[in-house]
Amino acid sequence: MNEYFITEEEEIVARQGIRTGGQLVAFDTVLRISLLQVDPEFDYNAHFNYKTQKWTSLVNNYVNLNYLDIVKMEVKRREAARDNSYNISFIFDNSHAHGKGCLLSLTFTRRPYFPDPILIVQLRSSEVVKRLIFDFGLIQRMGEYVYGENARMGSVWYLPNAYTMGEVSAMYDVHKPILSLISPDTTLPFQKKVIEALVKMKGTNFTDIKYKIHLRAAKVLQGGTTGAPLLFKNLSLIP
């Protein structure tokens, strides 16, 4: 997904996506994942300078565990009855005053001829670099809470508004070098923005950076993140 935004700028625009204010936006995106499984060793701190409280805030804002328990009981009842077709939905909270309500609903689904349950996620909007893989982790943990820790689950994601910014996409360089994906001589506006951000964020002192999102990118790209690793395997739905 990240590489698609970095390398396929022209296709996104041709499909009625837009470039605006340093952002690249794709509309009405559907992701189909045959096995929802975030790498247990994925380090959210090293990639995004995320701390434990970021995960805690995500869970507390969106997940009403009492409501999820009701959904779980209904799913378990249908599973015990060997029902091969059901759709049971969980509606996300948006508890915090500063919450953006990006997650809307999660539907637990069984379909005939599909071996695994499918988690269908409806979002309002998603930033695809940092936030989307955080949401992948949350949905996986919710699925495991309902179906069991070792359950296999597919997933379908509906993103009416999927976007990234140059400074944010530049952080992908920690995972895979940006210049192995696109030419430094590119003339495409968003790709130029990514490369400019990459150079700037790698070469600017933290004290000279004004915006929080830029500072996060600079810390990641310069290896300046602090604190313990935030590995997905250590993140739980219940504290």
pLDDT score for 100: 77
- What are the residue boundaries of the structural domains of the chain, listed by start? 2-229
Instruction: Tell me if the pTM is above 0.75.
Output: yes
Match domain 2-229 to its CATH number in 2.60.40, 3.30.572, 3.20.20, 3.40.50.
3.30.572
Q: How many CB atoms lie within 10 A of CB 215?
A: 19
pLDDT score for 21: 87
d(CA 132, CA 116): 22
pLDDT score for 157: 98
d(CA 60, CA 122): 19
Residue pair 23/164 in contact by the 8 Å Cβ criterion: yes
Instruction: Give per-10-residue mean pLDDT for the chain (239 aa).
Output: 97 96 95 97 97 95 97 98 97 78 96 96 96 97 96 97 97 97 97 96 94 93 94 94
Q: To the nearest 10°, the Cα dihedral for 187, 188, 191, 192?
A: 40
pLDDT score for 97: 59
pLDDT score for 188: 97
